[in-house]
Structure 1
């Protein structure tokens, strides 16, 4: 029997047992952002560590950080073969609003072949698949085709504040040939995708101050600067009517798409009409000269996320607001540096500051963009494994969002990152009724098992 036949038999025979174990993992309310769940975070870390030990993974440890612990383990007995470093996270988002859940978020339920629970898709369900795939390979072959290491953190949902320092301090321990992450999704139902790039993120808050207090608009209007008008003038200066960003130097280091990438995106036949209907708009808007997928995957953005100031209660209050502000974030693409972009934003705001106001700028957390070339052998190997199981061509895509720790792995360890996810955008991660399609759980186990065999015979 082939390794895929052996895996298929094993997973079919042990499916009920595996789901029971996953229920146990999902029942732990490991919410990293809420201090009252600190003991649950420890519980989840211990659960993972024990699961690794049951697999005969060696040197398993629960490593303390300034926040929640990191779980580590390794098996390094495939002499002469590559090493894969598996990453995932065991923390989950809060569950509010609880009244919108159709079942208890930490009491897993299966309905219509979908597993409902907080963390089912993001990311406990996908982390669990790593473990069961390793279990199946040991059970069916007695060994692994490659070396493996595991690093599972408990702070991804709060921005991984302590993981970069941990990675930097443990570079030798974490040395590998590939980093594999299952925390992304398929392109569409039944359509697998390897995500080979993510946008970075940076942002600022602009605080505008005019007079020392709000002023009566009848007494002062027309003679004193209005903080909201000043803010609106600054915001309007950021982009032209076609969506082009007007901050000087903003595009200077943008890595352009290759013709092969543009062709690959075009062949996905993205349905813009269906998108418009789904989100309830008459037309889309974006930077001229680029398709929607190019705009959202491979072009940088500057978006106003919130505006505040003045009177917003019922009726009207005739004042000149003394204060106003806005929150702005930029999604960044390869070769753009978050610190440099913030510097360019500061220069632009200073250049366009209206008379009669003072402006202060507060910076938000930053994350660098990431890219592994989509023709890299380890990326293409992932595509082959998906295709064997899903029986359709694999899409090679970039993600419009950001996972800051991915860029940190890339920068600190200097390894190709392979994002092999099995979720779907419709699975309500971060929202009530989070769920995971068990069809993709079943197929994903087999894809991951095959990928280890593909890497064992791939030259890179």
Structure 2
């Protein structure tokens, strides 16, 4: 511990300079105009792996070059030893609304011990920490104590549409004893945790069409259906007034929480009042009969992400709109199936039969199944010991409310468990303006990877 402590302390400024270089690349996978930047970020990761001492590094194009590349790295210390794969992604979310950023999103800026930029935490910062952890093992020990491979994609922020096919095609290359995810978060800046589950995702859009053009509300209002009114009726019917999803069958496949799981969640350090205050909300709301922590990670949701139609500008325009739209995402828990959930949502929407309008439901690509890791897996015990050394307190288990599609890919395609081991803090404004990373957290995370790979090398059962 003393050796790696001295090492990362001495490398602090270099880490900061290299991370800022990475963050300057606007690798927004959702926007076609940033395709060259995404490719540039892939090459940056490949070069970072080479600088870290990884002997084999390759960049694989996806879908005949139309998809964003996968960066692969391989450091075989001893073929007889177990192999641990580190997963991360180099693409980032769009930056809108850009006017809410204090500084330009791709011009990293230090303020009060924080580094602000898009991707600072999700996932460039966290991926960078994992790479530097392996680099530290190489420089201090000559090589990692186990075999290490890297799988770094550029499509996570758009649902990893091509990654499953890549993993099926390259199963032999990716075979490992355990995957470690550099995408995720700890419980708080001073509390590590072991994330054992993440929710799945299903998304769709509801389109409501009325007249063949926008109409004068004085001349036509009250005599023809208003698509906005119809959409409001449909949306209101998706939940009961107390917050339960009203779609028939939505909960039928949900794996119930055991008494032990509920006790475990209840023991997780969580200040609900501080959590509410931080987001400016007076009181919690959601499915009755469950705590806030249970709702956040262990129960499924159906959320309206946006609604639009008609006149949106300043002042008044007396129009009866021709169409109205809403986007919906569902977060899923074991054992819900995304396709089945979308079938149920569509059936419920069509069953409402709003007169005078035409209703269509469009499904989006990027559905993901939920994931849960066995709580008695030996790698969790090894990771818990490392986190307790780093944070000075025991690491509780946690469930991620968000979705990392690749988690289930590892289980279903490679037959490998996926351990979330990312040092992102939950308050770092990921996906929002002014995303940041705490500069002092970087050395701790580098040590975290160094120490975990050492611990796994000494734990023969952690496979």
Contact 1:88/1:151 (8 A) holds in 2: yes
Cα-to-partner distance string for 1:337-390 (whole Å, 9 max, x where unaligned): 111111111221222213333221111222221111233222232222111111
Does the C-alpha gap of structure 1 residues 235 and 26 become closer, same or farther in structure 2, counting only changes over 3 Å? closer
Q: Distance in 2 between matches of 1:190 and 1:148?
A: 28
Contact 1:234/1:353 (8 A) holds in 2: no
Shift in Å at residue 73 of structure 1? 1.4
Contact 2:55/2:75 (8 A) holds in 1: yes
Does the C-alpha gap of structure 1 residues 13 and 327 become closer, same or farther in structure 2, counting only changes over 3 Å? closer
Corresponding position of 2:370: 369
Q: Distance in 1 between matches of 2:151 and 2:451?
A: 21
Q: Distance in 2 between matches of 1:273 and 1:181?
A: 30
Q: Distance in 1 between matches of 2:397 and 2:81?
A: 26
Shift in Å at residue 19 of structure 1? 2.9
Corresponding position of 1:396: 397
Cα-to-partner distance string for 1:396-443 (whole Å, 9 max, x where unaligned): 111111122333333222211111111223223333433211222111
Q: Which moved more, 1:23-32 or 1:235-244?
A: 23-32
Q: Which moved more, 1:380-389 or 1:45-54?
A: 45-54
- Indicate the SS of the match to 1:45: helix
Does the C-alpha gap of structure 1 residues 458 and 191 become closer, same or farther in structure 2, counting only changes over 3 Å? farther
Q: Which moved more, 1:19-28 or 1:262-271?
A: 19-28
Matched, 1:358 2:361: no
Q: Distance in 1 between matches of 2:82 and 2:232?
A: 55
Corresponding position of 2:410: 409
- Indicate the SS of the match to 2:408: helix
User: Which among 51, 54, 63 is matched to residue 54 of structure 1?
Assistant: 51
Contact 1:119/1:125 (8 A) holds in 2: yes
Contact 1:41/1:154 (8 A) holds in 2: yes
Does the C-alpha gap of structure 1 residues 56 and 243 become closer, same or farther in structure 2, counting only changes over 3 Å? same
Q: Which moved more, 1:169-178 or 1:375-384?
A: 375-384
Shift in Å at residue 234 of structure 1? 2.3
Does the C-alpha gap of structure 1 residues 353 and 63 become closer, same or farther in structure 2, counting only changes over 3 Å? same
Corresponding position of 1:84: 84
Does the C-alpha gap of structure 1 residues 55 and 324 become closer, same or farther in structure 2, counting only changes over 3 Å? closer
Q: Which moved more, 1:103-112 or 1:141-150?
A: 103-112
Does the C-alpha gap of structure 1 residues 206 and 120 become closer, same or farther in structure 2, counting only changes over 3 Å? closer
Q: Distance in 1 between matches of 2:230 and 2:115?
A: 50
Contact 1:311/1:317 (8 A) holds in 2: yes
Shift in Å at residue 295 of structure 1? 0.7
Q: Which moved more, 1:329-338 or 1:92-101?
A: 92-101
Q: Distance in 2 between matches of 1:151 and 1:235?
A: 40
Q: Distance in 1 between matches of 2:400 and 2:379?
A: 18
Q: Distance in 1 between matches of 2:317 and 2:206?
A: 24
Does the C-alpha gap of structure 1 residues 257 and 427 become closer, same or farther in structure 2, counting only changes over 3 Å? same
- Indicate the SS of the match to 2:173: coil
Does the C-alpha gap of structure 1 residues 305 and 11 become closer, same or farther in structure 2, counting only changes over 3 Å? closer
Q: Distance in 2 between matches of 1:86 and 1:297?
A: 24
Q: Distance in 2 between matches of 1:110 and 1:312?
A: 37
Corresponding position of 2:429: 428
Q: Which moved more, 1:337-346 or 1:326-335?
A: 326-335
Shift in Å at residue 35 of structure 1? 4.1
Shift in Å at residue 284 of structure 1? 1.7
The gaps in structure 1 that reach 5 residues or longer are none
Matched, 1:260 2:244: no
Shift in Å at residue 300 of structure 1? 0.8
Q: Which moved more, 1:239-248 or 1:152-161?
A: 152-161
Q: Distance in 2 between matches of 1:95 and 1:118?
A: 7
Corresponding position of 1:157: 157
How many pairs does the alignment contain? 457
Does the C-alpha gap of structure 1 residues 222 and 369 become closer, same or farther in structure 2, counting only changes over 3 Å? same
Q: Distance in 2 between matches of 1:131 and 1:448?
A: 9
Q: Which moved more, 1:315-324 or 1:88-97?
A: 315-324
Shift in Å at residue 250 of structure 1? 0.9
Shift in Å at residue 173 of structure 1? 0.8
Q: Distance in 1 between matches of 2:54 and 2:348?
A: 53
Does the C-alpha gap of structure 1 residues 78 and 217 become closer, same or farther in structure 2, counting only changes over 3 Å? same
Q: Distance in 2 between matches of 1:197 and 1:258?
A: 15
Q: Which moved more, 1:55-64 or 1:226-235?
A: 226-235
Q: Distance in 2 between matches of 1:438 and 1:319?
A: 52
Task: Give the alignment's TM-score, normalised by structure 1.
Answer: 0.90
Does the C-alpha gap of structure 1 residues 314 and 255 become closer, same or farther in structure 2, counting only changes over 3 Å? same
Contact 1:194/1:421 (8 A) holds in 2: no
Q: Distance in 2 between matches of 1:329 and 1:420?
A: 26
Contact 1:95/1:432 (8 A) holds in 2: yes
The gaps in structure 2 that reach 5 residues or longer are none
Corresponding position of 2:12: 15
Corresponding position of 1:295: 295
Q: Distance in 2 between matches of 1:239 and 1:171?
A: 42
Does the C-alpha gap of structure 1 residues 354 and 138 become closer, same or farther in structure 2, counting only changes over 3 Å? same
For residues 119-268 of structure 1, what are the structure 2 equivalents within 5 Å?
Answer: 119-213=119-213, 224-268=224-268
Task: Give the alignment's TM-score, normalised by structure 2.
Answer: 0.90
Does the C-alpha gap of structure 1 residues 212 and 409 become closer, same or farther in structure 2, counting only changes over 3 Å? same
